[in-house]
């Protein structure tokens, strides 16, 4: 039996030993390619570095992958061979750069380029693949894919430009945090900055093209964020590019192919905003930090058909002007004066005589890197569910305001269509809650945050913010009146329409407040009855909510016969999307910071539902940039603000640096994060060792926000902080020992294997009472944490499990865990065959539980188990049940995982496999690796759990090989499982209560048994 670690080590050595020596000039070409017709062997999609046709590849050794499909008669077949071809074009002629030849292999992912010609930075290549199956059936060639190797010399050729240099902007040094909402007046030193230091500006450059263009690409980094146009048309649809980073360490740039857009006369236009690069504050202020004033780096590379080249760079020749964006702040909102627009400013016919020459700025300190992570975009839109007319006191004057209930709490911004006179001003204030009088309430999410729009007049005007977003459900409009609304269509995010009356009744039943009056309900055509207003105000013609989040593909689905679980699933998914931007944030309003504990404690649920192949590496880069020289990994990354105590240094948070690479390995079979960030992982483990006394780590936040009626918020109440901290210390030491084995570091393997056993002994000595058999305080987390991690000695496991169940029973089958303890509680129950307890603990509508939040009327998961206690109504940190939905109820699990527990035999319960298995020892509470066939074939375990009164579960997950779907149902005493496996996939299928399993390969299957 081949062990997983040896397999990983072999992949690693192959990855580092590629023969690449020669040089070639290359750019775009066209190759005739095809895919199979319906029913034959062919391709679902092809990828390069996990992306389809990536505009930038960060390395000269890209890796290729593909998903396959075959006819309905080819069940059980696998790939047997492949061939890959890579092409370029030199002087108009097609040139083959690499031909792999026919390679006998089942591998369909992570196939590295292995040509003798070195791929050149800045050049575009085309590739294609064909495969053979185990019956020697040959596929047609795939569709052609393209990729471009990222240039490495942008900083040497282009200049950073803007309106003012940092040295003249009077920007304070340091990063200032404000623990409570304050006005910017409190930060006196930030009020002395030069006005241009935070002014949004237009920049433009005209370019004349005299010859026929073969290829043209623009590389750009506009900080904090930018919008790029060419000849008056916006390029791309990303929001908030480039993605956030620690700009002292890393700065991302993006690329746009503009070959088809170039004309003889051209104008490049760029609009710059502040983002977190220049967070000087204004209105609501959470923290203040600036890496410099808005700045631009841009280069356009043009290749002509005659083989010559031209480069256009950002330099002294560019001009700038103030934009209509008079205020933009990530925490405060945005103001736009349409009267200041300059029509045609980004077209070649525009006269820019009044514009100013740019200033060549001091470059930011960070290293330029290609942005290979999916961007943030407007992913969904929502129409109003109702509109209400309210009375509000504004500056001691009573005014009528309109409050739109958009039906869904989300991260994003409004898009408004308005008609009025030149100079009319409307103000839009967004919030996730409303006061008793029905006006918006930002008390729990950061105040004041709002947008103003000044009309230019002359017809309908459509506007949305560009460089800021907020978490909200309600939109309050001041200075406007309502006319019949045009019908708005949009994705309801799986939620469906829900009337305001239903929401109000739910909040009343849950103990909430009825906060709505004078409702004007939408009519059947999507409009609303006109509300009379005596003032000559502009008219709101249309209102939308733009749901903005990271565009990483959604790859998971779950539903079952329990409506509460279905609604809880949607509740959590919408909270995840709301906090999935450039980082996984805690909330989309109050902080917008990358708190790291969510990344691993909710990790499996995230990986089951979203494609994180490019997102997870970006998080690891953020962690590397944030890590201190002594090895400490702060609780947030990027570390825009310096917290103190447990809010900067908590093992439950910093452990993400060690655990996330193993999730990546588990779900994708890719050990690159373990290899690339081994030094980060080791540095953090060694740091924790310096904080330990006799191997006990005592600092941190512990089980944050664990539930107690009298203490709904804050540092762990029920479980000792040292118990939680030391348990995580044990886990990261354990993981690091595995990482040492994977990377072939025998010295470290010996060192950390020994340390792991020492920490384990110290933990049991400190926190386990052998007389009473009690861990810690006897809380649920006190038992679940050591059980999950494998710290409990075998002779005490049964007693610890019994005590855990007793603690749950004595608490009325209600949980007492929080942000940290949830996953360990949920998975300990599942891994030990206690799914009935798990089901009972969640199948209710009381506090604490997901059902109560639904009863309360929440549309996203709230920060606290009891939303009435205040705090954010859009957090996903308590969403660990997603893992149980997919892994236990649907039973979709990955068979290429490593854990603390030695492999067992016998009847699998949940988290336990039958048969011969490797005995590697890494902590994650899952199952032991079993490599029964080629490592290149996706290995799954399908072991659905029939629990409670469930009669049906349907779920899917797109693996790298393709989508696996599971659907089971119970009719009387008959259990039926329908399973579909993608091509090149193998699964061991365990039916409920069966000791044996059946191995099946690619195709559709139905299994039945009597319960």
Dump the DSSP string for 668-708.
H---HHHHHTHHHHHHHHHHHHHH-BTTB---S--STT---
DSSP-derived secondary structure for 3-58: -HHHHHHHHHHHHH-----EE--------------TTSSEEEEEEETTBSS-S-BS
Residues 6+ apart with CB under 8 A from 728: 651, 652, 655, 697
Name the pLDDT band for 93 (thresholds 50, 70, 90): confident
Q: How far apart are CA 65 and CA 105, in angstroms?
A: 13
161, with CB counted inside 10 A (0-12, 13-18, 19+), is buried
Q: How far apart are CA 818 and CA 702, in angstroms?
A: 9
Could you identify the residue written with the tokens 């309905």? 72
Secondary element (H or E) of residue 757: helix 746-767
- Where in the chain is CATH 2.60.40.10? 4-148
Name the pLDDT band for 77 (thresholds 50, 70, 90): confident
pLDDT at residue 920 in the model: 30
Contact status, residue 754 vs residue 933, Cβ threshold 8 Å: no
Secondary element (H or E) of residue 126: strand 124-133
- Where in the chain is CATH 2.60.420.10? 889-1011
Confidence check: pLDDT of 648 > 60:
yes
3-state secondary structure of 605: helix
Q: How far apart are CA 162 and CA 170, in angstroms?
A: 15
Q: What is the DSSP letter of 168?
A: G
Q: How far apart are CA 794 and CA 977, in angstroms?
A: 35
Q: Which residues pair with 554 in a beta bridge?
A: 610
- The CB density around residue 328, as the number of other CB atoms within 10 Å, is 28
Q: What is the mean pLDDT of residues 288-313?
A: 96
Q: pLDDT by residue (tens digit) across 727-785? A: 999 999 999 999 999 999 999 999 999 999 999 999 999 999 999 999 999 999 999 99
Secondary element (H or E) of residue 389: strand 386-394
- The CB density around residue 561, as the number of other CB atoms within 10 Å, is 15
Torsion over CA: 993, 997, 1001, 1006 (sign): negative
Q: Which residues pair with 207 in a beta bridge?
A: 266
3-state secondary structure 207-237: EECCCCEEEEEEEEEEECEEEEEECCEECCC
Burial 830-857 (b: 16+ CB within 10 A, else e): bbbbbbebbbebbbbeebbbbbbbbbbb
Q: What is the mean pLDDT of the chain?
A: 88
Confidence check: pLDDT of 535 > 80:
no
Q: Which residues pair with 411 in a beta bridge?
A: 471
pTM for the model stands at 0.90
CATH 3.30.230.10 for domain 378-549, yes or no, is no
Q: How far apart are CA 119 and CA 123, in angstroms?
A: 8
Q: What is the mean pLDDT of residues 474-502?
A: 59
Strand-pair category, 356-357 with 998-1010: unpaired
Torsion over CA: 709, 710, 715, 717 (sign): negative
Which regions of 258-294 does DSSP assign to beta strands (E)?
A: 265-273, 278-279, 285-290
3-state secondary structure 872-890: CCCCCCCCCHHHHHHHHHC
Fold of 4-148: Immunoglobulin-like (2.60.40)
Q: Which residues pair with 391 in a beta bridge?
A: 400
Q: pLDDT by residue (tens digit) across 210-224? A: 999 999 999 999 999
Contact status, residue 428 vs residue 405, Cβ threshold 8 Å: no
Contact status, residue 545 vs residue 412, Cβ threshold 8 Å: yes
- The CB density around residue 109, as the number of other CB atoms within 10 Å, is 21
Contact status, residue 347 vs residue 204, Cβ threshold 8 Å: no
Q: How far apart are CA 309 and CA 318, in angstroms?
A: 21
Q: Record the tokens describing residue 323, joined without a space.
A: 């934009």
Q: pLDDT by residue (tens digit) across 583-610? A: 999 999 999 999 999 999 999 999 999 9
Q: Record the tokens describing residue 334, joined without a space.
A: 């945005």
Query: Between the CA of residue 222 and those of 255, 302, 345, 929, what are the distances in Å?
Result: 12, 20, 18, 45
Q: What is the DSSP letter of 340?
A: G
Name the pLDDT band for 179 (thresholds 50, 70, 90): low
Task: Select the more confidently predicted residue: 525 or 999.
Answer: 999
Contact status, residue 527 vs residue 484, Cβ threshold 8 Å: yes
Q: Record the tokens describing residue 972, joined without a space.
A: 């009387």
HSE-up of residue 34 (Cα within 13 Å, Cβ side): 7
3-state secondary structure of 626: helix
- The CB density around residue 894, as the number of other CB atoms within 10 Å, is 22
Confidence check: pLDDT of 6 > 70:
no
Name the pLDDT band for 995 (thresholds 50, 70, 90): confident
Fold of 154-325+351-371: Jelly Rolls (2.60.120)
Q: Record the tokens describing residue 574, joined without a space.
A: 């919408």
pLDDT at residue 935 in the model: 52
Confidence check: pLDDT of 348 > 80:
yes
Confidence check: pLDDT of 904 > 50:
no
Q: Record the tokens describing residue 656, joined without a space.
A: 């993400």
Could you tell me the CATH superfamily of domain 889-1011?
Maltose phosphorylase, domain 3 (2.60.420.10)
Q: Record the tokens describing residue 869, joined without a space.
A: 């206690």
Residues 6+ apart with CB under 8 A from 188: none
- Where in the chain is CATH 2.60.120.260? 154-325+351-371, 378-549
Secondary element (H or E) of residue 952: strand 952-959
pLDDT at residue 505 in the model: 47
């Amino acid at each position: 039996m081949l062990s997983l670690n040896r397999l990983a080590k072999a992949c690693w050595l192959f990855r580092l030993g590629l023969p690449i020596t020669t040089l070639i000039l290359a750019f775009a070409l066209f190759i005739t390619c095809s895919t199979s017709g319906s029913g034959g062997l062919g391709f679902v999609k092809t990828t390069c570095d996990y992306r389809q046709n990536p505009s930038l590849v960060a390395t000269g050794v890209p890796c290729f992958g593909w998903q396959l499909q075959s006819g309905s008669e080819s069940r059980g077949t696998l790939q047997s061979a492949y061939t890959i071809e890579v092409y370029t074009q030199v002087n108009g002629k097609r040139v083959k750069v690499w031909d792999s030849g026919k390679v006998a292999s089942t591998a369909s992912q992570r196939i590295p380029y292995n040509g003798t010609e070195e791929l050149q930075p800045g050049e575009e290549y085309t590739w294609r693949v064909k495969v053979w199956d185990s019956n020697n059936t040959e596929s047609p060639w795939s569709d052609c894919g393209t990729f471009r190797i990222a240039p490495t010399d942008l900083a040497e050729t282009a200049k950073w430009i803007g309106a003012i240099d940092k040295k003249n902007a009077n920007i304070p040094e340091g990063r200032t945090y404000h623990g409570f909402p304050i006005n910017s007046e409190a930060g006196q030193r930030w009020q002395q900055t030069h006005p241009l230091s935070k002014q949004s500006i237009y920049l433009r450059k005209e370019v004349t093209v005299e010859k026929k263009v073969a290829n043209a690409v623009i590389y750009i980094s506009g900080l904090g964020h930018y919008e790029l146009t060419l000849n008056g048309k916006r390029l791309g649809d990303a929001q908030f590019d480039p993605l956030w980073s620690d700009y002292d360490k890393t700065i991302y740039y993006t690329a746009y192919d503009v070959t088809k857009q170039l004309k003889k006369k051209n104008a490049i236009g760029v609009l710059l905003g502040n983002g977190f690069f220049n967070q000087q504050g204004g209105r609501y202020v959470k923290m203040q930090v600036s890496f410099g004033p808005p700045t631009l780096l841009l280069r356009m590379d043009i290749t002509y058909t005659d083989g010559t080249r031209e480069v256009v760079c950002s330099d002294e020749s560019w001009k700038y002007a103030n934009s209509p964006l008079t205020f933009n702040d990530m925490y405060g909102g945005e103001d736009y004066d349409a009267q200041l627009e300059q029509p045609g400013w980004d077209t070649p016919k525009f006269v820019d005589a009044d514009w100013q020459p740019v200033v060549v700025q001091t470059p930011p300190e960070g290293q330029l890197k290609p942005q290979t992570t999916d961007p943030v975009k407007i992913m969904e839109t929502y129409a109003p569910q109702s509109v209400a007319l309210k009375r509000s006191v504004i500056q001691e004057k009573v005014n009528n305001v309109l409050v739109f209930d958009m039906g869904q709490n989300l991260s994003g911004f409004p898009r408004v269509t308005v008609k009025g006179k030149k100079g009319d001003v409307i103000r839009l204030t967004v919030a996730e809650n409303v006061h008793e009088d029905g006006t918006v309430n930002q008390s729990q999410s950061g105040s004041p945050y709002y947008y103003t729009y000044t009309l230019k007049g002359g017809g309908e005007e459509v506007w949305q913010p560009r460089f800021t977003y907020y978490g909200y459900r309600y939109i309050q409009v001041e200075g406007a009146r309502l006319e019949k609304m045009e019908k708005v269509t949009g994705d309801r995010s799986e939620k469906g329409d829900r009337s305001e009356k239903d929401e109000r009744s739910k909040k009343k039943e849950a103990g909430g407040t009825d906060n709505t009056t004078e409702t004007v309900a939408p009519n059947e055509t999507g409009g609303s009855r006109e509300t009379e207003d005596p003032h000559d105000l502009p008219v709101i013609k249309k209102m939308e909510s733009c749901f903005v989040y990271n565009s990483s593909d959604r790859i998971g689905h779950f539903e079952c016969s329990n409506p509460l679980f279905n609604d809880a699933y949607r509740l959590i998914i919408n909270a995840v999307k709301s906090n999935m931007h450039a980082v996984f944030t805690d909330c989309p309003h109050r902080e917008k910071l990358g708190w790291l504990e969510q990344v691993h404690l909710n990790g499996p649920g995230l990986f089951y539902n979203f494609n994180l192949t490019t997102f997870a590496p970006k998080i690891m880069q953020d962690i590397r940039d944030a890590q201190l020289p002594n090895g400490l990994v702060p609780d947030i990354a990027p570390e825009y603000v310096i917290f103190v105590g447990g809010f900067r240094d908590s093992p439950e948070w910093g452990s993400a640096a060690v655990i996330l690479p193993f999730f990546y390995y588990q779900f994708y079979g890719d050990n690159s994060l373990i290899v690339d960030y081994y030094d980060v992982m080791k540095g953090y483990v060694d740091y924790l060792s310096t904080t330990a006394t006799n191997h006990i780590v005592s600092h941190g936040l512990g089980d944050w926000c664990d539930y107690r009626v009298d203490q709904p918020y804050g540092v762990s109440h029920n479980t000792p902080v040292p118990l939680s901290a030391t348990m995580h210390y044990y886990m990261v030491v354990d993981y690091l020992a595995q990482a040492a084995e994977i990377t072939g570091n025998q010295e470290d393997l010996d060192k950390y294997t020994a340390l792991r056993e020492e920490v384990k002994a110290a933990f049991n000595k400190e926190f386990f009472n052998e007389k009473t058999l009690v861990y810690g305080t006897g809380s649920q987390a006190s038992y679940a944490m050591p059980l999950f991690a494998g710290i409990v000695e075998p002779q005490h496991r049964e007693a610890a499990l019994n005590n855990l169940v007793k603690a749950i029973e004595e608490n009325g089958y209600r949980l007492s865990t929080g942000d940290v303890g949830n996953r360990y509680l949920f998975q300990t129950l599942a891994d030990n065959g206690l799914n009935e307890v798990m089901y009972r603990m969640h199948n209710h509508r009381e506090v604490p539980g997901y059902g109560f939040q639904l009863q309360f009327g929440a549309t996203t998961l709230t920060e606290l188990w009891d939303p009435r206690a205040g705090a954010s109504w859009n957090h996903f940190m308590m969403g660990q049940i997603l893992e149980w939905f997919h892994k236990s109820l649907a039973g979709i699990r990955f068979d290429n995982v490593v854990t603390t527990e030695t492999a067992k035999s016998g009847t699998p319960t949940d988290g336990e496999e039958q048969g011969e298995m490797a005995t590697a020892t890494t902590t994650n509470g899952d199952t032991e690796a079993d490599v029964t066939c080629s490592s290149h074939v996706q290995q799954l375990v399908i072991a659905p759990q029939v629990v409670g009164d469930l009669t049906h579960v349907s779920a899917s997950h797109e693996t790298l090989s393709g989508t696996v779907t599971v659907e089971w149902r119970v009719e009387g005493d008959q259990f039926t499982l329908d399973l579909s496996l993608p091509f090149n996939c193998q699964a061991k299928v365990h039916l409920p209560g069966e000791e044996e399993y059946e191995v099946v390969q690619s195709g559709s299957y139905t299994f039945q048994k009597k319960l």
